[in-house]
Amino acid sequence: MSKEKIAICEDLADIMPPEYHDMVENATFGNQDRSWKDIGSSKELIEQHSLCAGCPESIAFRFIMSSIPNPEDSVFVGSTGCTSLVFPHVGIHNIHSLFGNQNAVASGLKRALAVRFPDRIKDVFVLAGDGATVDIGLDMTMQSWFRQEKFTTICFDNELYANTGGQESGLMQRGFVAKMAPKGKNFDKVRLPEIAFEAGCHYVAILTVSKPNRVEQAIRRATYVAREFGPTYIQLYTPCILEIGKQSMEGLDEMKDSESIGGRFVMRELMTDEVKAFLKEKEAEDKARRKKAKTVTA
């Protein structure tokens, strides 16, 4: 897929529902400075979703889809879970993998795309829940990092198995009692960000999705670093409001509480000095380009 492919045949254009015309004419494909601020004013790459009302995961989806720099040449690899209910609705290529296999599938895909399109930047993202990333799929996740596969792994961390009814997961907090974990968890939350960094990820971030600017920054950084250096990892807290006994309106507060000082989701970034220097340069370049574009427009 590329931007040139996103066009409607002229002879049948008049019978296409308006949302498709919107997609072609007003989506942010091809705009390298696309951002979460386009949500609401441009055709979004995810409009409707099948998640619960107020689900923080749906917010995360919107921020991620609006932040990736190259949607027309990006592919998402997902795994079974609430995320997989959303993928049929997104305007980006995606592959559904067998549970836990997502990083293995993404490895093959990224390599194949590099062979098939050597002159084109093709971004691959894994987007899976904590069960697929940290428990059942940990082998595939970590092996892809050891092999230095050049793609970004995004984990939607809701600290349990949400869509099967609330079983204990590795990322659950110690002592937490869930519907199907009535005795409470008796070991600590797996420190996957630190493990990821030690396993070879060049950029790691852990945060909630309460602040779109931060999510966008993390996604863009992870994407750029994955292109140049190797694997990157982002862990986003997307609490399951149903499984932790919250109302639809309380997801945002839950995320804000968890990222307040001393909280387990205070934003952290781990990166090497080389990556730090690279990002500094890249972000300065982007800033200069945007400034120049603004001056020209004015």
Residues 61-100: x where in contact with other proteins by CB under 8 A, - otherwise, as a string: ---------------------------xx-----------
- Determine, following the binding rule CB under 8 A, whether residue 49 of this chain makes contact with other proteins: yes
Task: With beta carbons less than 8 A apart as the criterion, state whether 252 and 210 touch.
Answer: yes
In the sheet that 232-237 helps form, which strands lie side by side, from edge to edge?
93-96, 74-78, 123-129, 152-157, 232-237, 203-208, 268-271
Residue type, 256: K
The count of residues interacting with other proteins (CB under 8 A) is 22
Distance (Å, whole) CA 287 – CA 274: 20
Q: Which of 5, 116, 183, 294 binds other proteins (CB under 8 A)?
A: 5
> Which part of the chain contacts other proteins (CB under 8 A), choosing from 17-25, 149-157, 214-222, 289-297?
17-25
Q: Which of 3, 20, 95, 114 binds other proteins (CB under 8 A)?
A: 20
Tokens (6 digits) for 19: 């949302």
Q: Calculate the CA dihedral of residues 77, 79, 82, 86 and round it to 10 degrees.
A: 30
Q: Which of 3, 21, 211, 227 binds other proteins (CB under 8 A)?
A: 21
CA-based radius of gyration for the chain: 19
Q: Which is nearer to other proteins, 14 or 273 (CB)?
A: 14
Q: Which of 16, 53, 177, 266 binds other proteins (CB under 8 A)?
A: 16
Q: Work out how close the CB of 92 gets to other proteins at its nearest, in angstroms, rounded to a whole number.
A: 12
- Which residues sit opposite 268 in a β-bridge? 206
Binding site for other proteins (CB under 8 A): 5-18, 20-22, 48-50, 88-89
